[in-house]
Structure 1
Amino acid sequence: MPYEKAIYHYLDPMSDQISGAEPILCAPLLRHVDERLIELLRSLRPEEWNLQTVAPAWKVRDVAAHLLDTVLRKLSMVRDHCFVEQNQIRSEQDVVDLVNRLNREGVTVYRRLSPPVLIDMMDSACRQSADFHESLDPFAPALFNVSWAGESTSLNWFDTARELTERWHHQQQIRFATNRPGIMTPELYHPVLDCFIRGLPNAFRNVDAPLGSTIQLEISGNCGGTWLLRKENAGWDFAGTPEANPVARVVIPQELAWRVFTKGIDRKEALASSSLEGDRALGERVLGLTAIVA
């Protein structure tokens, strides 16, 4: 898909009925999501910075600190090629342990900042980040792979889309905690969902089923869509054509989907609020998708 057409696709996300196959070219959306973040943080009352979020270890100020830390970290390492320590990565668990450590260290430092200081730093960092991501060739190799999708190497478009999910869902955690309206608009939320769901083939990599078996995932609501996962010779992959009789059909409300894929909701609540038809074990496997590293 040409770059300009793909951009239009995510400004008009319901233009295609079946998702999952095309690149998610969404770099310009990072700027819009972060502009909403700055507006949100400036609107918070002092006591709201200490409200608990759906992330058990983090209050609002901790999520804001994490958002500042990750954008500065990405600029330092990817744009400026600055690495102050060398880490040996030998396994998937090594990645998880490293990310958890870096997140803890960043939150410990930046949660100490006053809201005015943090917001000013966030505003500057976000503008630089948007400029940087918009400057990248979306089809060039990314410095970091999208590990939760099972990729050993990724292209920039996927890394940028992953960045969009991070900026969007952590902002949504703050909005959810402070009872602010979410940013569930089709142009901003649909590409986030599409990126999350790109982790399904990896989540099903060890799941056996007859060749040609198809699982249909629907996210209900105007930001959602339909994704078809099919068992092929080489494993599970997305299909671009509808299947008359999928072996499993899962419907998740869009209000819930972001929490399902980011460990922000109890599994029993997710099952109770979603619709599963057909093979229940396969359907529950869809609800077990985690599209974050840690």
Structure 2
Amino acid sequence: MKKAEQIDVVALMSELDTLLFKLLEGLSADDWDKQTIAPKWKVKDVAVHLLDGNLRTLSMLRDDYYGEKPENINSYQDLIDFLNRLNADWVKATKRLSPKVIIDLIKSSGKEYCDFLATLNLNDKAEFSVAWAGENESKNWFHIAREYTEKWHHQQQIRLAVCDEQKLLDEKWYLPFLDTSVRALPHHYRNVKGAAKDLIKFTFIGKTEKSWFLYYDNGWALFASTNQEPNCEVKIRDNYAWKIFTKAINREEAIENSEIIGDIKLGEKIFDMIAVMA
């Protein structure tokens, strides 16, 4: 068995941003007002949320300035509620910004953001842990990979709204998103009872097939490959997987459009896994 390896997406970040710039520059006035798959956000709202991600990272991690700090955070849900309020406040405040101003700010802050990430040692402790993977402490490489998934899925929300979603499903862009998201699987399955040597195979089907494995030995562990035959395989198409992990599709629809071979109880748990702070 081969364990899942460290993810390095630092170089991809600026390229992903370039795709975003080109996308936003090509939008019409009507496109900016189109509804996205995020119920409360239109295309413009998602764009300014991406801007907020750049600015907050630079302020907190580069400049050590945290501004509004969370108080009375006693649970994961408390943290989610705090972040949701921050996001809503920002989206409301930026209603007055024009698309051109937003694009210019995303470009300038995006460059500074990517330049800052390149200064980080990937194996140092990150300022923020990846909570959705159950970590209380994370390395910078995982934090940056988590940030990649944020940028990826919000850009994809815009692309879906304007009928241009296929680009980010290319393996170059999509594989790092999946590779990061599946790191939540051991934590997500922590309360699923397994028998010794149980193996679940998760296969994502698109232009190519990509698979990861959960193996049970006094707890679940994630592997990138194995010669052992699984006693359950879950097959999910690419255009559904990202929606499952970002809370953009309901469980029933996700299961209906996927396939579970073998032990259904072992396989179906993935369909309520979320790999974002939501």
* Matches of 1:69 and 1:272, distance apart in 2: 36
Measured after TM superposition, the shift of residue 79 of structure 1 is 1.0
Distance in 1 (CA, whole Å) between partners of 2:23 and 2:224 is 38
For 1:263, what is the secondary structure of its paired residue? Answer: coil
Query: Greater shift after overlay, 117-126 or 250-259?
Result: 250-259
Give the secondary structure class of the aligned counterpart of 1:141.
coil
1:231 aligns with 2:216: yes
Report matched runs for 1:183-262 at 5 Å.
183-222=168-207, 224-233=209-218, 235-262=219-246
1:220 is displaced (CA, Å) by: 1.1
Distance of aligned partners of 1:240 and 1:264 in 2 relative to their CA distance in 1, 3 Å threshold: closer
Deviation per CA, 1:163-212: give whole Å up to 9, x if none: 10010110001000101143222221101110011101110111111122
Equivalent residues of 2:211, 2:224 under 8 A apart: no
Q: CA deviation at 1:248?
A: 1.5
Please report how far the alpha carbon of residue 78 of structure 1 lies from its aligned counterpart in structure 2 after TM superposition: 0.9
Cα offset for 1:243?
A: 5.0
Aligned-pair distance for 1:221? 2.2
Q: Establish whether residue 137 from structure 1 lines up as the match of residue 121 from structure 2.
A: yes
- CA–CA distance in 2 between the matches of 1:227 and 1:240? 5
DSSP-derived class of the 1:218 partner: strand
Select the residue among 136, 144, 151 that pairs with 2:135: 151
Is the CA contact 2:200–2:215 (under 8 Å) kept in the aligned structure 1? yes
Of the three residues 63, 73, 76, the one matched with 2:59 is: 76
Structure 2 counterparts to residues 102-141 of structure 1, below 5 A: 102-141=86-125
Q: Could you tell me how far 1:232 is from its partner in structure 2?
A: 1.8
Contact kept, 8 Å, 1:52 with 1:60, in 2: the verdict is: yes
Structure 1: distance between partners of 2:51 and 2:107: 9
- Partner Cα distance (2:194, 2:176) in 1: 29
What's the counterpart of residue 182 of structure 1?
A: 167
- Structure-2 change in CA distance of 1:246 and 1:133 (3 Å): same
Q: Taking structure 2 as the reference length, what is the TM-score of the superposition?
A: 0.95
Aligned residue identity for 1:31: S
**Contact preservation (8 Å) 2:36, 2:160:** yes
Paired residue for 2:69, among 69, 82, 86?
Answer: 86
Q: How far off is 1:219 after superposition?
A: 0.6
Structure 2 residue identity aligned to 1:44: L
Q: Deviations over 1:118-169 (max 9, x none)?
A: 0000000111111111111000000001000000010000000001001011
SS of the aligned residue for 1:84 comes to coil
Q: What code does the residue aligned with 2:181 have?
A: F
Identical residues among aligned pairs (%):
42
User: Which runs of 5 or more residues in structure 2 are unaligned?
Assistant: none
Aligned pairs for 1:47-62 within 5 A:
47-62=30-45
TM-score (norm 1): 0.90
Give the superposed CA RMSD.
1.6
Instruction: Compare relative contact order (CA 8 Å, sep 6+) and give the higher one, 1 or 2.
Output: 1
